[in-house]
Amino acid sequence: MSAAAPALPVIVTGASSGIGLETAVGLARAGYRVVATVRDLGRTQALDDAASAAGVELDVRRLDVTDEASVAELVDGVVSAYGGLHGLVNNAGAAHLGTVELDTMDAIRAAFEVNFFGVVAMTRAAMPHLRASSGVVVSISSVGGIVGQPFNEAYCGAKFAVEGFMEGLAPVAATVGVRVVVVEPGAVASAFVANAGVDPQAMIAAAGPYGPAAAGYLARTAGAFANAQSSADAAAVVVSAVVDPATPFRVQTSAVAAGFVGIKLADLDGSAVQALTSSWVATA
């Protein structure tokens, strides 16, 4: 861990709840200046309460990562206020459940806008300032950025894209002094899945020929989230990734997540993953 936090701030996107909230508070507790961004400034009560309970101050600002003007305004405003930027935590994202035959193209594009293009836009806007400060970009991916999961085609596709984008960027960014890290949580007890707005029975009823598979998937997922990691524990890994320059490019937030990702990384022909995920949607 570094001996002292830098004077320049860290931007944390999607800080209204879950991992983003806990990361913003955790970084502030570690002595960092934190700009915590939310899409709706009318929904900051949980963040405000958490900061107050921790005895820390956050600079809370509005940001819509899918809006280039909002991204530019946020980054320019932070740099103007503080004289630069030390770090960016790309946390903002949205769950999406569906399958390609039943999804609309608009829904699939929307999943990519927030989960992938929002990450790209923020990183692009921040890079000149991170280059000036020898800073760090930490992007919250998912075990779903390594293992494609049933009824998560658009979400996993976007997270796969984040992984590939950041893996390609990392060696280039390193030549100008910027660290790039990808953090992969597994199941986390937060509002993330609830915010997907899915009614399980309605999803099954609307799934037509995919109904039995959807029922199996939802039952399996309910079990996984019953034993989910806490947002605070996952966020501690994110905070460490910002603070510790020895953090590797890819890090998981729990032993369970590491084990799950490890199946894929050792699975050259895809058969192990297909056997595993097919069992989640078995209809007999």
Residues noted as catalytic: 155
Pair of tokens at residue 57: 């101050």
> Which of 65, 196, 199 lies closest to 140 in space, CA to CA?
65
| Spatial contact of 242 and 175, defined as CB atoms under 8 Å apart | no
SS3 call for 32: coil
Cα separation, 3 vs 235, whole angstroms: 20
- In b/e form, how buried is each residue of 77-99, taking b as 16+ CB within 10 angstroms? ebbeebebbbbbbbbbbbbbbbb
Burial environment of residue 105 by CB neighbours within 10 A (0 to 12, 13 to 18, 19 or more): exposed
Between the alpha carbon of residue 189 and those of residues 116, 171, 193, the distances in Å are 22, 33, 9
What's the CA gap between 245 and 1, in Å, rounded? 7
For residue 252, list its beta bridge partners. 184
Torsion of CA 128, 130, 131, 136, to 10 degrees: -140
Beta-carbon neighbour count of residue 70 at 10 Å?
18
